[in-house]
Amino acid sequence: MVKPLIAPSILASNFADLGCQCHKMLDNGADWLHIDVMDGHFVPNISLGPPIISSLRKEIPRSDTKPSFFDCHMMVSEPEKWVEEIAKAGGDSYTFHYEATKDPLALVKLIKSHGLKAACAIKPGTSVDVLYPLGEYLDMALVMTVEPGFGGQKFMADMMPKVEALRTKFPKLNIQVDGGLGKETIPAAAGAGANVIVAGTSCFTATDPRELIEFLRENVSKNLSARGLLDEKV
């Protein structure tokens, strides 16, 4: 059984007011904060990093009463180098790109040895088949619905067969989609079986973030329920 999880991407926030903006998302019902780490090599952009994660963790400490899960999406070359740093900084989940490593299973084991959840992402041009040997070891699989590196891109609906294939093969795995998610595109993502929704621009520009987050959650819940996969302890 899986839960609907909504993870606003802080790449779309106002960095000058980052702490307050993150609190706002959590106060309005977000389950996770999605933190994009880019090194300027794997993707043509640079953003965030361990010092920012560490500062956010001090601002948003782990709590039993309020969500504070840091979902770290590592769009970096040589992702093995950063596992320990992200763990020390206060990350909770470490998503590496399949395309960035030569030994993904060894990396999964390294991530878990540092107490982090392990996730693997694939770019739009990468076949979903590469995730099949890893699925039983992963806590989450991420299907990119835009090219990684920049926010505000258009949702790629033709990635949904990858999500459907993963959900069929691994019914209890967290399956995340990232890129262009909002009210118009959530039906396709939820319908394909995604349960972890990364929404950046749509969340941080919403007039009513709570209403948007609940809309996303309801779509996911409805589709998981129809598949008999909804964790009712939500």
Active site residues: 36, 178
Whether residue 150 is annotated as binding a ligand: the answer is yes
Neighbouring C-beta atoms of residue 152, cutoff 10 Å: 13
Do residues 90 and 55 make contact, with C-beta atoms less than 8 angstroms apart? no
Whether residue 149 is annotated as binding a ligand: the answer is yes
Whether residue 152 is annotated as binding a ligand: the answer is yes
Whether residue 201 is annotated as binding a ligand: the answer is yes
Q: How far is CA 155 from CA 65, 127, 202, in A?
A: 34, 18, 12
Whether residue 185 is annotated as binding a ligand: the answer is no
22, exposed or middle or buried, with CB in 10 Å at 0-12, 13-18, 19+? buried
Whether residue 97 is annotated as binding a ligand: the answer is no
Dist. CA 209–CA 149, nearest whole Å: 24
Residue 30 backbone dihedrals phi, psi, to 5 degrees: -65, 145
Whether residue 182 is annotated as binding a ligand: the answer is no
Whether residue 23 is annotated as binding a ligand: the answer is no
Give the 3-state secondary structure of residue 136: helix
Structure tokens at 96: 């590496």
**Which residues sit in the known binding site for a divalent metal cation?**
34, 36, 73, 178
**Which residues sit in the known binding site?**
9, 34, 36, 73, 149-152, 178, 180, 200-201
**Which residues sit in the known binding site for substrate?**
9, 73, 149-152, 180, 200-201
